[in-house]
Structure 1
Amino acid sequence: MATWNLWWRLGDHERRRPGVLAALRDLDADVIALQEVWSSATDDLASALAADLGMYAAFGGSPDPTPWTSGRDGPTYGIGNAVLARWPVRAERTEGLPAGRVPGTRVLHGTVVDTPAGSCPVWSVHLDSSLVGSRGRVEQVRVIARRVVTAPPTDLPPLVMGDFNAQADSDEMRLLEGHLTAPAEPGLLLVNTRRWAVDPDEPTWTPANPYVAPSGSPPARIDHVLVGLDRGTVPVRVENTAVFGNRPIDGVWPSDHAGVVVDLAVGDG
């Protein structure tokens, strides 16, 4: 499984798109959560990528993208989150998260993927990006936690993946994980798979990327994959996790973010 913020239509998005596709094809992940996916009245990037990759797609658009998209690439394009999967997806639910720095633009998109091992709930997350927006992100993760615990039972544990715009030791991530502090919802444990990484602090947002460098931001790991290991009836184990999309492809960086990929072993074997 993997998560990646595709940076909407910013930068030279036409030159970036082949690199996005190449990186995802090389990854060969079974389930992929995407953020900052562009959409139009007739198309969206997630569906186009899924067609190229031979996958299923579920896209959920922002209920009000205009504060984010206005003045960037015209009013005809929207923004949202998506889930790509090797198997059919269903039970889609999309909602705007509580207002952060830009009200109405951040989305939680949930689906259920019907894998050979059973049903698996997948949530694609995009939180507020303000450097001083921790309070808003705390409210956003409370909504996410509530949706996870009230979702119908499934066979596999929930996967909560995305661009959280927050480091693992932040209030909002500790609250959502529920491992080092009281969880956002009683009894909910969403383990951050970075704990299995060789370098758990390897950044997904870094000034080594020329799209990031002008911001002056320090390197940080702000994209995460969380697994509800205490939920579901089919056990899973985290075997490996790594960062991808963190270098140019054919001379072009595919996004301003790097992504995170996680290998899961399913079942008792």
Structure 2
Amino acid sequence: MTRAGLRVAVVIACLWPLACTHAPRPAAATDAPGLRVVTLNLYHDRDHWDRRRPLVIDGLRTLDADVIALQEVLQKAGLRNQAEDIGAALGYAVHFVSTDPPGQEHRYGNALLSRRPVLARSEARLQPLDDSRTVAHLRIDVQGHAVDVFNTHLHWTDDGAAIRARQLDDVLAHVDRHDAGASVLVGDFNAEADAPELQALARAGFVDVPAALEPAANLRTTLNPHYFERGRRIDHVFARGARLRPLATRRVLDAAADDGTWPSDHFGVLAGFRIGH
């Protein structure tokens, strides 16, 4: 661990004493309200979406998350908007954002799905505009507690750290405009949590939830080795706010069906929180 990483770990230990477990559990009736968030890069319609679709829908239904964040969501001729399709199957409200104009047949972007009441929603485009990147936001009501959830997908090339840093500045500016005191920021950042371009998150008060909870070893990569030669954890869950207490995190949607079909080229990440005053 770097000295910077050690300092972050010490801050985490001081600010958030955590009960570390590897699987979120439903809150008991006497517990504070709970929140479950899952993030997944859908891999748009590549590699037989018709076979992957039921794996994604059934897997998300089993996870029973309050909020689902999806990246690489696609709609085009002959393909219903994937987020709206999944939301309809699961009974979730859908907030899809794209740099492609509304009404255009082909649209690509990110989405947030919620089964909790939606109090507010927003979105922003990230610079440079020709990179087609966005941040989506929902403020949801969790048993009387307002929580802001943000979803993004940053630039993908290995040598694009400066672009990701610029985009993350835009994300954090949008978060600051809409943060009501308890925020979860998730998505595909295309960089590991200790990458230099992501250090602005720690400076803004965000904690890398899986790292804070010392998760199971299988979360060392969120890239599916069936598609990628090098494993990396680039799909993240960050949180800030004294009212949010992370309880657990684990990798999900990480198994192939009997016929060898995988849900996606990325694995999903599920995080559970307790919400207090």
TM-score by length of structure 2 reads: 0.78
CA contact (8 A) 1:97 1:143 kept: yes
Secondary structure (helix, strand or coil) at the match of 2:220 reads: coil
In 1: Cα distance, 2:124 partner to 2:265 partner:
25
CA contact (8 A) 2:209 2:238 kept: yes
Q: Does 1:128 align with 2:155?
A: yes
CA contact (8 A) 2:218 2:251 kept: no
Using the aligned pairs only, state the percent identity. Answer: 31
One-letter code aligned to 1:87: R
CA contact (8 A) 2:121 2:139 kept: yes
Kindly state the Cα deviation for residue 92 of structure 1 after the two structures are TM-superposed. 2.4
Q: Residues 58 and 131 from structure 1, CA distance in 2 versus in 1: closer, same or farther, beyond 3 angstroms?
A: same
In 1: Cα distance, 2:101 partner to 2:45 partner:
17
CA contact (8 A) 2:219 2:233 kept: yes
Secondary structure (helix, strand or coil) at the match of 2:50 reads: helix
Task: Compute the RMSD of aligned alpha carbons.
Answer: 2.3
Number of positions where the alignment pairs a residue of Structure 1 with one of Structure 2: 236
Q: Does 1:20 align with 2:47?
A: no
**Gap regions ≥5 residues in structure 1:** 66-74
2:83 to 43, 46, 49: 46
**Aligned residue for 2:42?**
6
Secondary structure (helix, strand or coil) at the match of 1:47 reads: helix
**Gap regions ≥5 residues in structure 2:** 1-36
**Aligned residue for 1:162?**
187
Kindly state the Cα deviation for residue 163 of structure 1 after the two structures are TM-superposed. 0.5
CA contact (8 A) 1:63 1:95 kept: no
- String of CA shifts for 1:146-187, please: whole Å, max 9, x gaps: 111122x53x511111000110110122222x2xxxx2xxxx
2:199 to 174, 185, 188: 174
**Aligned residue for 2:265?**
256
**Aligned residue for 1:59?**
96
In 2: Cα distance, 1:115 partner to 1:201 partner:
27
Query: Superposed, which structure 2 residues align to 1:1-269 within 5 Å?
Result: 1-40=37-76, 43-63=80-100, 76-99=105-128, 103-151=130-178, 154=180, 157-176=182-201, 178=202, 183=203, 188-195=204-211, 196=213, 197-199=215-217, 201-207=219-225, 209=226, 212-213=227-228, 216=229, 218-230=230-242, 235-251=243-259, 252-267=261-276
TM-score by length of structure 1 reads: 0.81
